[in-house]
Structure 1
Amino acid sequence: MKPAPFDLVTANDMSEALEALHQGGTEARVIAGGQSLVPMLNMRLARPTTLVDITRIPELSRIEAKSDRITIGAAVRQSTLERWPDLADRLPLLHAALPWVAHTQLRNRGTICGSVAHADPSAELPLCLIALGGTVTLRRRRKTREVAARDFFQGMMSTDLAPGEMIVSVSFPARKPSTGYAFREVARRHGDFAIVACAAIARPDGTATLAVGGVADTPRALELSADRTDLDDRLNEFAWHLQARDDLHATARYRRDLVRHLGLATLEEALSCRD
């Protein structure tokens, strides 16, 4: 199939992009990598009348590293972040997760923020954003706002993004001393969306975060103590709380088992990685 007709605006600066989005309203969409949006256009699951190409806007192609956070612009490709020399040291969780994101060819085109905007519940990058407690910066013509990741994702492929608004960047907290990070997933084939993916953060004070994707409509995070005395019970409770469903890829029971066993393995790896 071919997309429904649309107008393409190639923006050279932010004001041009935001004006086009404002004029297009609910019928306008941003395109950068297009690895999620273009298939939806071809299948006519999405029918925007205006596409706004943001890839020529210099400020959106930057990775900005500060002492406590890393900010990634909306046009930064996944492969660009993957090759960033400081990735393993500053964002070890993304360093572990990015090789699981699709395939090399797709990461060469797909963007970090595009995956966040698409909000697939099985995608690795939204899961990492939730696990780390990151934020999404949204902008429209006269307003800029920052939204916590836990509030941005509202359901399956549903976000807090308003008409005329676009993601300009996402921010991840940088690596903290004596903290361990780990990522694991199970998929039918490497590069497929995860059946279950787990991201874990183990802190020096004995607390930990386990975030799980591929089960509920959005990635979900569990705060817990790394004390093994009740860890199995907490993971079992969490597995049921996620309300897994049967689908073509796996049964609900299999997903619950993965939350229990893969979740525990991911937590143990994060604990072992603490400085």
Structure 2
Amino acid sequence: MRNPYDVLGVAKGASEAEIKKAYRKLAKDFHPDRNKNDVKAKDRFAEANSAYEILGDAEKRKQFDRGEIDAEGKPRATGFEGFGGFGGGRGGNFDFEHMARAQRGGGMGGGGMGEDIFSHIFGEAFRAGGAGPGGQRQPAKGEDVAAELSVTLEQVASEEKLRLALPTGREVDVMIPRGVIDGQTIRLRGLGQSGGLRGEPGDALLTIRIRPHPRFTVEGADLRTTVDVPLEDAVLGGTIRVPTLTGVVEMKIPAMTSSGRTFRLRGKGLPKKDGTPGDLFATTAIVLPEGEDAALADFARSRRAAKAA
């Protein structure tokens, strides 16, 4: 697989927001539902998803930047310090280039020793150039399948486990991951089409769709909502009730609070990848009394007269 930074088209120093934006654009452009007859689009979609699995996770991104894992998230081969004698590598490092030359040219004893060592390290697949024992090709991997899971904000907040029916007919339990965003695709390894008698199964590419909420809008891990404030509480100050994804909480507002003022309720948003919660931003909307209110009308007239004087 290509370098995940190249796949998403972002610089190595890109911010989390830039990486997320680039991934969402690629996922939208190459999603299988929009490109059902385009094999290349399917490959680009899978490639973008794999890249985001690395760069969208802060810890995996650090591991990749340090060279600890490759572009597929697999640990890089290490621990060959004991082979310094082959090729004169400095500091006891294993000289792969020298070994490759020996393997091609029958060097290191003339009996294919280079090939034998590579085969010992990497398995019989090396001896046959990607084939299995006896020179036979390995069984083909099964096809990947695409699936969607529609979830509510409440389910995201509680990290709920949901039952999902895959296109293969198999049902699995899926835990909603922390920090998931609408349109994000998660790779469920080994849950795709069967690879036959001996072949490795494909993967299931699960796209998460977060349903619109009647009260909350999403901004990353933060939420925004509007709360009604009675006129008397706006003028005199008081305590109002604010709905959240986990229940109603009380919030104090100061006297002379104008409509459109925003208050932060910490920890009442969605879970982030590191497990910490986002915040809820509540914007006030002042509600006037219903029906006639003589005292309020007299107050408004006196204020108007004072401004005109």
Shorter-chain TM range is under 0.3
Structure with the higher strand share, 1 or 2: 1
TM-score, normalised to structure 2, is 0.26
State the structure with more CA Rg: 2
TM-score, normalised to structure 1, is 0.28
RCO comparison, higher one (Cα < 8 Å, 6+): 1
